[in-house]
Structure 1
Amino acid sequence: MTRPAPRTTPESADDMDVRKAAVLAAVITAHIDTAHPVGSQTIHGSAGISASPATIRSELVALERSGYLQQPHTSAGRVPTEKGYRYFVDHLGRGKLSPPKVQQLSSFIGSVQGELKSVYEQISTKLSDVTRYPAVIVGPGHINTTVRDAHLVDFGQRRILIVLTMSDMDVQKLTVSLDFDVSTQDVTDAAQQLKALLIGTTVRDRFELPAVSTTPARLVRHAVEAIWSEAGETEGEQVFVGGTSKVADSFDTLETTRQVLDVLEKQLVIVSLFKDLLQRGASVSIGSEHGYLPLAECAVVVAPLTIDGQNAGAVGLLGPTRMKYGEAIAAADVVSEQLAGRLSVEAQRG
């Protein structure tokens, strides 16, 4: 699967040479690891840097003047700006996920059991465990998925469980209460009628229901009307968030933590943000780039979830701007590719 290329910065990078790029990479790497401003002594001797501390200091000043670094306090070291992080991501920070972590994610995705919603929930939690950032999986709604099978289960006391298996391998369950009695044979006959009506249709398809007054026909009408009513509330994309407990550990201020938690509860915001990034051909958004003020102190990494050439959602991570970008990008890619492969195989089996 081909992921979108990172968005390139609109500012010119003509002022960046090999030594400046190495110094910038060293500053960002050190700042990601420590969360503290970085001085020349800290990065002296880092990989790719053979210059003296005085020369490094000169390069730090030049990088600050060009907008890649900033100095929080006069006596402090320097920290990256959004422009600095953007250059790092686009040119330097495409690191890989360690083989043990790749194996950990791949094995989990291949073996996790449960209905599709549970699988998404478990995988998002696993991705968060591996990266230490809150993880999000956006799965498709059921607008375009069709019903593959339908069953009715009699709970007694005029309560019926409707079970629908969808073409995307999701299983929907809905309990309805009746105002009339049904026999075991009524439920069996109604289930057969329900299959004939629903298989091959989507949850938003509307058609004429049987007008006869037999008990099975009445049960079918109740079941279909309940399905249609439920579909009107749940047609949109489904959002599965893992690792919300890690938000406090990922961000430096309580206000940012609160804002991130608030965003993670707003599914429409997450879906819109991911769609916007992917439509712009971006895989990483840093700070204010996405234009959403509550996440101005955050970075977002997203990978498309594509099944047999069709868009099926996205896999994303939210973290601070000092996120471990290379690892986060690689982890999102692994999950999107492995999950898409699993879903494709399951769809073919069905």
Structure 2
Amino acid sequence: MADDRRLKVLSAIVTDFVRTREPVGSRALVERYQLGVSPATIRNDMAALEDEGYIQQPHTSAGRVPTEKGYRLFVDEVARVKPLSAPERAAITALLTGEADLEQVVARTVRVLAQLTGQLAVVEYPSLRLTSLRHLELVALGPTRILLVIITDTGRVEQRTVIMDGDVVSLPALEHLRVRLNAALVGCRAADVVPALEALGEQAPAEERVLLRAVTGALEDALCPDAEERLVVAGTANLARSTPDFSSLGPLLDAVEEQVVLLRLLADGGAPASHAADDGMRVSIGSENRDDALAEASVVSASYTAGSDDAVAHLGVIGPTRMDYPATMASVRAVARYLTRFLAGSAHQ
């Protein structure tokens, strides 16, 4: 739809309905918005918008509400990302104050994102598969048990316990292997680790090969493409406050508990690639989520990086389709950029 005036009318209807949760009539548009046209013209525009499926009349109300198609057009053509207020900028800046590790920053990030948007917030940890190794540590936990500690350039720390199946761990051999592994693997991306380990195995002395195979298996499991990613969620209570916007919250809450569903939603937003912004932000609305449990929900997501152009993970929010899209998009984008800045600093420390 190319009619600028009708877009303004649609924008006013969306804005008013998001604010009041009440169907919007032509009189309210005349009184609250400076549209520069007569009430009769607004009524004609509303009739055209309804015929085209952008708004609808719920029940017998005289007012109209946006449809999923109307929200989509609003986001694509009308919505502009709002500048953050000073308190919002201060809240996000506080994420990076002090000496905080990745765990602390992710925990703070998801809480602040939920507070800023009033929605359910989800933050994915930087993927082990998409980051580089910074350091590996091997710690003997007993005669036959080893703790493998994996530290990436984003500051993510993962631990794996290695069982030696009866073979007694030699502390000098363990230290020697630790040095060799770090020399061979530091700076490697996950895809390069297996070839490097194979080359290391061919060069390893016979007495170290059993130990190397055990550690290699644990490391490859942690970095394999099917390895489960980690994410954190905050603001579930915000969904409860949006109960009137959903016919039933149960299926949506069940979907939130399914990590695989959330990871998919964050990764592609459920929306077509044509709805992705240049900075990786996506907005998927209702049925675009391709999951019945989210048919009445919208997902606003963005990717973040570790200082390069490649995304290492995603974050976003889930809420009702009756959402303040410009403000939500601004918060998601800003938090993603701050997290990118933090990780870029970590990667160069």
Q: CA-to-partner distance for each residue in 1:109-136, whole Å, 9 max, x for gaps? A: 455722x355334312321121111122
Which residue of 241, 246, 269 maps to 1:249?
241
TM-score (norm 1): 0.80
Deviation of residue 202 (structure 1)? 4.7
**Is 1:130 equivalent to 2:121 in the alignment?**
no
Q: Which residue of 2 aligns with 1:63?
A: 49
**Is 1:342 equivalent to 2:342 in the alignment?**
yes
- Aligned partners of 1:182, 1:312: CA distance in 2, in Å? 35
Q: Which residue of 1 aligns with 2:316?
A: 316
Contact 1:137 1:241 in 2 (8 A): yes
Contact 1:256 1:297 in 2 (8 A): no
Give the aligned length: 332
Q: Which residue of 1 aligns with 2:326?
A: 326
Contact 1:110 1:342 in 2 (8 A): no
- Aligned partners of 1:56, 1:228: CA distance in 2, in Å? 63
Q: Which residue of 1 aligns with 2:90?
A: 103
Q: CA-to-partner distance for each residue in 1:214-243, whole Å, 9 max, x for gaps? A: 6xx654443333223344486365444332
Question: Secondary structure at the residue paired with 2:304?
Answer: strand
Question: Secondary structure at the residue paired with 1:317?
Answer: strand
Q: CA-to-partner distance for each residue in 1:298-342, whole Å, 9 max, x for gaps? A: 112122324322232333222111111011111111012111122
- Aligned partners of 1:143, 1:64: CA distance in 2, in Å? 47
Q: Which residue of 2 aligns with 1:35?
A: 21
Contact 2:95 2:108 in 1 (8 A): no
Q: CA-to-partner distance for each residue in 1:256-306, whole Å, 9 max, x for gaps? A: 423333333334434444336474342322222344433221112122324
TM-score (norm 2): 0.80
**Is 1:113 equivalent to 2:100 in the alignment?**
yes
Contact 2:131 2:312 in 1 (8 A): no
Contact 1:68 1:80 in 2 (8 A): yes
Deviation of residue 173 (structure 1)? 1.6
- Aligned partners of 1:291, 1:185: CA distance in 2, in Å? 55
- Aligned partners of 2:312, 2:177: CA distance in 1, in Å? 33
- Aligned partners of 1:321, 1:254: CA distance in 2, in Å? 9
Runs of 5+ in structure 2 lacking a partner?
277-281
- Aligned partners of 2:7, 2:133: CA distance in 1, in Å? 54
| More off after superposition, 188-197 vs 318-327 | 188-197
Q: Which residue of 1 aligns with 2:154?
A: 168
Change (3 A) 1:232 1:62: closer
Deviation of residue 213 (structure 1)? 3.0
Question: Secondary structure at the residue paired with 1:280?
Answer: helix
Deviation of residue 180 (structure 1)? 4.5
Contact 1:151 1:163 in 2 (8 A): yes
For 2:221, give the aligned amino acid. S
Matches within 5 A, 1:7-46: 13-14=1-2, 16-18=3-5, 20-46=6-32
For 2:207, give the aligned amino acid. S
Q: CA-to-partner distance for each residue in 1:190-228, whole Å, 9 max, x for gaps? A: 4334434543445551412635336xx654443333223
Q: Which residue of 1 aligns with 2:279?
A: none
Q: Which residue of 2 aligns with 1:151?
A: 137
- Structure possessing the higher relative contact order (Cα contacts under 8 Å, 6 or more residues apart): 1
